[in-house]
């Protein structure tokens, strides 16, 4: 499928996907989601890529799922076709995924950003789950991931009122990892992505898997999982290289082995 809703590029070991439907504030229609999941799969399969940055425009990361596309759907259609099920593929990405968010990040857009490993926001970013104003509720993880990120009180406030929160509130509530000036957003995201891509690949995958476990299992099970992953990394060449480099006072040269 030709890419007319996204733009992809690579910069060394970093893959960049830019959502690109400027006339609709990057509203996420089926075509865009198909292109996005296809691009993620391609970067996953490319051994040269160690980290992926997902971004939008200065005005909008994405203003949500495409309302015009879904407004006339019926319940049997949504149920029988498992409407929007392709979205799950975004959350299944194994390589580290950073959301670089500027402008509107609403509804499904906020849910996609929350599927990423972390969010770097620009000062103009606005987050929200306004679905309630359309007579629906979040359907791609908003009630679950937002609640885990910001806690019940603020998640209820945002989801029940449908209001937006600015970047400062998103930072204070733990939804985003960093807030940077608008003009520095991509530099900051790319520099974080290059740093991650430069680390040992197995350690990076193990780290993100272990952190994600924290949301799914009881503490003792999570701690056991972390320890097993920690031990397993001693089987990698990158662990030998990382520790040898430290004692030899030089930079490590990780190979992914
Ligand atoms: N869908 C379609 N078009 C949209 C859109 C959207 N979500 N958001 C904006 N647009 C279009 C507008 O219709 C307008 O198009 P034209 O009239 O120029 O043709 C253009 O983008 C510019 O928008 P505005 O003129 O409205 O721009 P403003 O600056 O005045 O306002 C705004 C910006 C972001 C406040 C406003 O556009 C707005 O409220 N947009 C809707 C936000 C929203 O309600 N988002 C939630 C949508 S529901 C699921 C997966 C996902 C979902 C559910 C389930 N599964 C996997 C099961 C997700 C659901 C949603 O996201």
pTM: 0.97
CA–centroid distance, 25 to ligand 1, in Å, is: 7
CA–centroid distance, 140 to ligand 1, in Å, is: 15
Active-site residue (options: 24, 56, 109, 111): 111
The string of DSSP codes covering 168-224 is HHHHHTTS-SEEE-GGGHHHHHHHHHHHHHTS-HHHHHHHHHHHHHTTTS-HHHHHH
Dist CA 20 CA 24 (whole Å): 9
- pLDDT given for residue 12 in this prediction: 97
- pLDDT given for residue 144 in this prediction: 97
Helix (H, G, I), strand (E, B) or coil at 28: strand
- pLDDT given for residue 240 in this prediction: 97
pLDDT digits (tens, 9 = 90+) for 183-222: 999 999 999 999 999 999 999 999 999 999 999 999 999 9
Contact 96, 120 (CB under 8 A): no
Dist CA 89 CA 173 (whole Å): 27
Minimal-distance CA residue to ligand 1 atom 32: 63
CA–centroid distance, 151 to ligand 1, in Å, is: 25
188 as an active site residue: the answer is: no
- pLDDT given for residue 69 in this prediction: 95
Minimal-distance CA residue to ligand 1 atom 10: 24
Which is the closest atom of ligand 1 to the Cα of 59? 29
Kindly list the averaged pLDDT for each block of 10 residues, start to end, along the chain of length 257: 91 98 97 97 97 98 97 92 88 97 98 98 98 98 98 98 98 98 98 98 97 96 98 98 98 95
Helix (H, G, I), strand (E, B) or coil at 248: coil
- pLDDT given for residue 1 in this prediction: 63
- pLDDT given for residue 86 in this prediction: 87
Query: Cα–Cα distances in Å, from 236 out to 50, 230, 233?
Result: 17, 11, 5
123 as an active site residue: the answer is: no
Does the C-beta of 67 come closer than 6 Å to ligand 1? yes
15 as an active site residue: the answer is: no
111 as an active site residue: the answer is: yes
- pLDDT given for residue 82 in this prediction: 86
Question: Which of 25, 86, 110, 165 has most ligand 1 atoms within 8 Å of CB, for mutation?
Answer: 25
* CA 31, chain centre distance (Å): 19
């Amino acid at each position: 499928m030709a890419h007319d809703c996204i733009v992809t590029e690579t910069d060394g070991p970093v893959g960049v996907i830019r959502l690109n439907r400027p006339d609709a504030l990057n509203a996420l229609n089926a075509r865009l989601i198909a292109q996005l999941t296809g691009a993620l799969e391609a970067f996953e399969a490319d051994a040269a890529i160690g980290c992926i940055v997902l971004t939008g425009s200065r005005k909008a990361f994405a203003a949500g799922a495409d309302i015009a596309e879904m407004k006339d759907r019926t319940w049997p259609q949504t149920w029988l076709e498992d409407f929007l099920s392709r979205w799950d593929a975004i959350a299944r990405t194994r390589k580290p995924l950073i959301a670089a968010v500027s402008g509107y990040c609403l509804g499904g857009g906020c849910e996609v950003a929350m599927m990423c490993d972390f969010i770097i926001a620009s000062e103009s970013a606005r987050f929200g789950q306004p679905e309630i104003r359309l007579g629906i509720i979040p359907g791609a993880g908003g009630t679950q991931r937002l609640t885990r990120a910001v806690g019940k009180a603020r998640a209820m406030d945002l989801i029940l009122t449908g209001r937006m929160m600015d970047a400062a509130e998103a930072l204070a509530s733990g939804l985003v990892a960093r807030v940077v000036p608008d003009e520095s957003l991509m530099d900051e995201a790319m520099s974080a992505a290059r740093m991650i891509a430069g680390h040992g690949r197995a350690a990076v995958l193990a780290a993100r898997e272990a952190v994600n476990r924290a949301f799914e299992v009881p503490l003792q099970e999570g701690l056991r999982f972390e320890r097993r992953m920690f031990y397993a990394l001693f089987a990698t060449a990158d662990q030998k290289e990382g520790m040898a480099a430290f004692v030899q006072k030089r930079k490590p040269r990780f190979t992914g082995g």
